[in-house]
Copies of this chain bind each other. A is one copy, B any other.
Amino acid sequence: MLVECVANFSEGRRPDVVAAIVEAARGPAVQVLDASADQDHHRFVLTLAGEGEAVAASAFRAVAAAVARINLTQHRGTHPRIGAADVVPFVPLGNTPMSYCVGLAESVGERIGSELGVPVFLYGAAARRPMRRDLARVRRGEFEGLEARMREPSGAPDFGPRAPHPTAGAVAVGARPALVAFNAWLSTGDWAVADAVARAVRGSSGGLVGVKALAMDTATHGQMQVSMNLVDFRATSLPAALELVRREAARFGVTVTETEIVGMVPLAALLAAAQYYLQAHHFSAGQVLELGLLDWARLQPATGNPDTTETATRGPRG
């Protein structure tokens, strides 16, 4: 069962702390896909992937390392946060079901609560209360408001003590679909145009379901950017978002000059984009040569004798 974990920590400035958390996460059967710190946000994102149980154990070790080293009472940054280890989502990869990631969130959450004494809120697909499906609501009031919120009737954590950890706050542990971070640069330096496009595209202001979008002043390019998160790329695809950006920009005589896929992206999102633009309506991922091979090589015992013969229509070859 392959999963990804995109853990967010409230430390983006002390390289030794970041390195210690990454080191704690390392282990057999876990791959550190990405580790990037942001000084302004004072925040650090660690992307782990591999077999579910191994990734869960790795994420727990990283949380423990963060709880031991980060003191939120001295933390200031532009990004909302409730804890030293702030958000720990498990993301299904390949054919892994979401329910498996919910199970991982529950077991890691239980360990964080009982072994580290840090309260845990289950969020996203792992939420046990409807209002906790939305991460923004879980984080409302941030670390500074946490003690008061946890005293409210609805404030009990899913695991751990009913009060914030004095230095590490609380942790939101959850499960969610893979997210695609996708930015489009526009042929304009006018922020108001980018803002109008972002508003037309993002779901919360009447645009596309599952698209978060913000206009960003990217000074280095001299061009405005529409910065998007696609939170369910199977429902709302990269082409769906890009085509709407293009159409709304065209109302101002503006074009998309370039886009950027930020960080790791699920293969299915790219195959769907190729299929869409190529009009290959009946394409199947089973036709991807290396993919079948790699899957097969990975799952095959050393002495195996595979036999996945398929018959398909095909043009002349040779």
Contact = CB atoms under 8 A, between A and B. Distances in A.
Contacts of A36: 311-314
Contact of A304 (B28, B290, B309): B28
B314 A181 contact: yes
A298 B308 CA distance: 19
Contacts of A20: none
Given A274-B270, A290-B94, A318 B135 contact: yes
A25 to B, nearest CB: 10
Q: Which of A6, A34, A135, A227 has the most CB of B within 10 A?
A: A34
A318 B86 contact: yes
Q: Would you call the interface of chain A mostly helix, strand, loop, or mixed?
A: mixed
B305 A8 contact: no
A316 interface: yes
Contacts of A263: 287, 312, 314-315, 317
Nearest to A272: B274
A32 B308 contact: yes
Contacts of A6: 317-318
Contact of A290 (B2, B28, B259): B2
A291 interface: yes
A49 B265 contact: no
A48 to B, nearest CB: 11
Given A31-B296, A279-B257, A262 B313 contact: yes
A318 B34 contact: no
Given A273-B278, A312-B34, A315-B229, A267 B289 contact: yes
Nearest to A37: B311
Contacts of A239: 277-278
Interface range on chain A (Cβ under 8 Å from partner): 35 or more
A175 interface: no
Contacts of A98: none
Contacts of A181: 314-317
Interface string A269-304: 011011011111111000111111111111000011
Contacts of A290: 2, 93-94, 266-267
A236 to B, nearest CB: 15
Given A28-B304, A270-B274, A261 B287 contact: yes
- Per CB-CB distance, the 4 closest pairs between chain A and chain B, nearest first, are A277-B277, A181-B315, A294-B294, A273-B274
28 contacts: A6-B318, A26-B307, A28-B303, A32-B307, A34-B312, A34-B314, A36-B311, A36-B312, A183-B315, A229-B317, A257-B279, A258-B282, A261-B278, A261-B287, A262-B313, A263-B312, A263-B314, A263-B317, A265-B289, A266-B289, A266-B290, A267-B289, A267-B291, A276-B277, A277-B277, A294-B294, A297-B298, A298-B298
